Structure 1
Amino acid sequence: MSGLQPVVFASWSGRYSDNPRAIAEELHRRGAPVEQYWLLDPEQAGDVPDHVRRLAPEGEETEALLASAPFVVSNDVLAHAFAKSPETHYLQTWHGTPLKKIAHDVERPVFKEAANYETWLPRDVARWDTLLSPNRFSTEIMRGAFRFEGEVIETGYPRNDLLSSPERDAIRARVREELGIGEGVRAVLYAPTWRDADPFSLHVDLDAFEREVGGEWVMLLRAHWQVAATANVEARPGVHNVSAYQDIRDLYLAADALVTDYSSAMFDFAITGKPMLFFVYDLAQYRDETRGFYFDFEREAPGPLLAESAGVIAGLRDLDRVAERHGEAYAAFRERFCHLEDGRASARAADALLARTPAG
């Protein structure tokens, strides 16, 4: 190797994304004495900088480097069976403030690979040295859900720095131009979570959307990455399927409002201060059977909970008044969950990682 300290990064099935990406970019910006290796799937990775060294998501070389590199940074459980070196520092960033229950707190997991996950999870948690937490609320929940007794650092989420960066207006303009969103047209990002064992299912009435608010609004449809391959939506002038778009942060900036359900996107989008609507057509089932929640979502949601597609469309039509009615709840939500999102989370995470740099 080059004399630089190798860092192995992993993000969701071989993507170049999320908290690991933001930390990697901060390290590169600083000129830190590290060499970046990424587990990348050519079909999933998207655009990747030239300085990144690519590794296959699986294979002997990957397992060997995971076992021996001074640093590993991942945003999810690694299913690999490597035995981590005592000299390796593994930073687990995770990938969202939890509304819905996670890890050991899910009583009846039904998602794909659930049986294997029950093996992978404790094996990987035992390798973690540091767990990154986005806020005070998440720290104790994550400790319990992962049964993790090691170091937890509260930094905010590195991926969210972009949402308050000086470049945010330029990114918004660029993305809207790329997507063909005209001046004076508002964009709503529809980004629902996945439903564990179920494929993507669109419950928004697109005909009604185009008929009632078309021309004033366009929809950016972003299926969760777990089910994005099944999000086959008919092409329409007022609906853009952006499920394959590499960086959801760009879409947060391009949008004027978010429609979601139980997705952790709500905690990230709240940083923008823009309105949110919650299309929760299966609230009772999701809360009581699919996952369960960590707080009283019905009482604390920073926007209206809507059971019907018609309610979502009506909310968009009257968005300013909807936002005003929920302004107090929105402010409380931001105070509770976004208190560390000051644009410096990547720097704090990079500082923590580099503080463990081996001597020599």
Structure 2
Amino acid sequence: MEYIKHHAMINEMFYTIGSAMISTMNLFVKPDDHLILFNSFGGKKYDDSPKAIYEFMKNDSRFAEYRLVWAFHEPEKHPEVIDKIKTDNFNYFLTALKARVWITNSSIQRGLHFCGKHTYRFNSWHGTPMKQMGRDKKNTENAPRYRANSDDVMLAQSKYEIEKMSEARQIPRERFKMFGLPRNDELLGVTKEKVRMIRNMLEIPDCKKVILYAPTFREYMLDDLSQCTLSVPIDFQSWHEILGDQFIVLFRAHYEVAKHTELPKDGNWLDVSTYPHLNELMMAADILVSDYSSIFFDYSITEKPMFHFAYDYDEYNRKRGLYFDIRKELSGACVSDELARLIATMDFENEVAKCKAFRDKYVEAYGTATQQSVEWIAKQLNL
């Protein structure tokens, strides 16, 4: 799928022929009014807002007679889910066509265009956009053409998000529900015991200050297999000297990145790129460092310091495109050593105030998104 996604001509052929085949198949499929299909990031994970909605539904008696099915690329890696199927085969597309509801944070359609006869499409999406998306996105010459979104509902955290998403993804504004993101509900009211439990699992001593470094991917940086790579200009030894042993850095590469910077083999840097729950990393962290990732919007709910490391801002903005300049919103630096010194000497109260101002500007709805989402879906099903 990665090769198809990054090559325009092949993508167009796949889209046209595949969509026609699935639509023809749909003529002979009988809908199942008690089937709900979930996926997260197309089938890569069991997490994010679809997981929050799923776990709420499992304990909601109104959905007791519904079959709640998850689709994964590798179902065997998700023993926590009983009813699951594999993506990208005949059974997957058959199940998608039968389903009464799709619940996703990206897409159920796997790069094609189809929908079941009675399917209600509920999309939480996976973050407020800082980088340009959809038809706003700056594409390379070989990039596939953009196709408009066709979901029945798209969630949002703010009016800013609705404005950007409606234009970029060509979604009528009335389809947006400003509930917030269900995945973020648990970021409120986190107890000290919960934080201690997570840090214990990560083997982080209580005396350490935790920095979560979570950069986004550069889709224009590809290897020979058309997979995204990442190499960040951090002088690890210098960071150690400036920050000392009181800090530990959790490095979280974006899920799109197959290969990334090799971290030093010491106790001050920990690669948590495969850790299953990003929210737990945000809970465990005292400080966030990122670049152009939507994690800033989510983390702002925690009211903890955030810093930008926008070392390639001009290149990223030129090749990918951004809606605003994060350097004007938060403290940060474009050089590794400067960032480390800024963190080491920060005015904590001032940085928390900047975090709250960022949240107030870009995240208007949060805290009850899961319940509101389930209530809305139940209403559509007349439950």
On whether the aligned pair clears a TM of 0.5, the verdict is: yes
Determine the structure 1 residue equivalent to 2:207: 184
Query: Which SS does the other structure have where 2:41 is aligned?
Result: coil
**279, 302, 307: which one pairs with 2:334?**
307
Contact map agreement 2:309 2:332 (CA 8 A) in 1: yes
Q: Which moved more, 1:330-339 or 1:131-140?
A: 330-339
Determine the structure 2 residue equivalent to 1:102: 133
Encode CA deviations 1:52-109: one digit per residue, 9 max, x unaligned: 4111121111101111200001111332536312311011111111111111110324
- Evaluate the alpha carbon distance shift between residue 24 and residue 230 of structure 1 in structure 2; reply closer, same or farther with a 3 A threshold: same
In percent, how many aligned pairs have the same letter?
Answer: 25
**68, 82, 92: which one pairs with 1:36?**
68
Contact map agreement 2:42 2:110 (CA 8 A) in 1: no
1:20-169 pair list within 5 angstroms = 20-31=50-61, 32-33=63-64, 34-42=66-74, 47-50=78-81, 52-77=82-107, 78-81=109-112, 83-109=114-140, 114-115=143-144, 118=145, 121-122=147-148, 125-126=149-150, 128-149=151-172, 151-165=175-189, 168-169=191-192
Q: Where in structure 1 do 4 or more consecutive aligned residues deviate above 4 Å?
A: 45-48
1:265-344 pair list within 5 angstroms = 265-287=295-317, 289-299=318-328, 301=329, 303-319=330-346, 321=347, 323-341=348-366, 343-344=367-368
Contact map agreement 1:228 1:244 (CA 8 A) in 2: no
- Evaluate the alpha carbon distance shift between residue 47 and residue 177 of structure 1 in structure 2; reply closer, same or farther with a 3 A threshold: farther
1:328 deviates by 4.4
CA–CA separation in structure 2 for the residues paired with 1:184 and 1:337: 33
- Evaluate the alpha carbon distance shift between residue 80 and residue 108 of structure 1 in structure 2; reply closer, same or farther with a 3 A threshold: closer
Contact map agreement 2:236 2:264 (CA 8 A) in 1: no
**236, 256, 275: which one pairs with 1:226?**
256
Query: Which SS does the other structure have where 1:355 is aligned?
Result: helix
CA–CA separation in structure 2 for the residues paired with 1:35 and 1:168: 34
Query: Which SS does the other structure have where 2:381 is aligned?
Result: coil
Query: Which SS does the other structure have where 1:214 is aligned?
Result: helix
- How much is the aligned-residue C-alpha RMSD, in angstroms? 2.3
Contact map agreement 2:88 2:110 (CA 8 A) in 1: no
- Evaluate the alpha carbon distance shift between residue 171 and residue 100 of structure 1 in structure 2; reply closer, same or farther with a 3 A threshold: same
CA–CA separation in structure 2 for the residues paired with 1:229 and 1:20: 27
Query: Which SS does the other structure have where 1:37 is aligned?
Result: strand
Q: Give the aligned length.
A: 341
1:229-244 pair list within 5 angstroms = 229-244=259-274
Q: Does 1:5 align with 2:34?
A: yes
Determine the structure 1 residue equivalent to 2:241: 211
1:212 deviates by 2.6
CA–CA separation in structure 2 for the residues paired with 1:109 and 1:160: 33
CA–CA separation in structure 2 for the residues paired with 1:332 and 1:164: 17
CA–CA separation in structure 2 for the residues paired with 1:109 and 1:147: 21
Q: Which moved more, 1:303-312 or 1:273-282?
A: 303-312
Structure 1: where are the runs of 5+ without partners?
none
Q: Which moved more, 1:150-159 or 1:73-82?
A: 73-82
Contact map agreement 1:259 1:277 (CA 8 A) in 2: yes
- Evaluate the alpha carbon distance shift between residue 213 and residue 332 of structure 1 in structure 2; reply closer, same or farther with a 3 A threshold: closer
Encode CA deviations 1:216-247: one digit per residue, 9 max, x unaligned: 00010000110044454343211100000011
Q: Does 1:252 align with 2:275?
A: no
**TM-score, with normalisation over the residues of structure 1?**
0.88
CA–CA separation in structure 1 for the residues paired with 2:339 and 2:326: 18
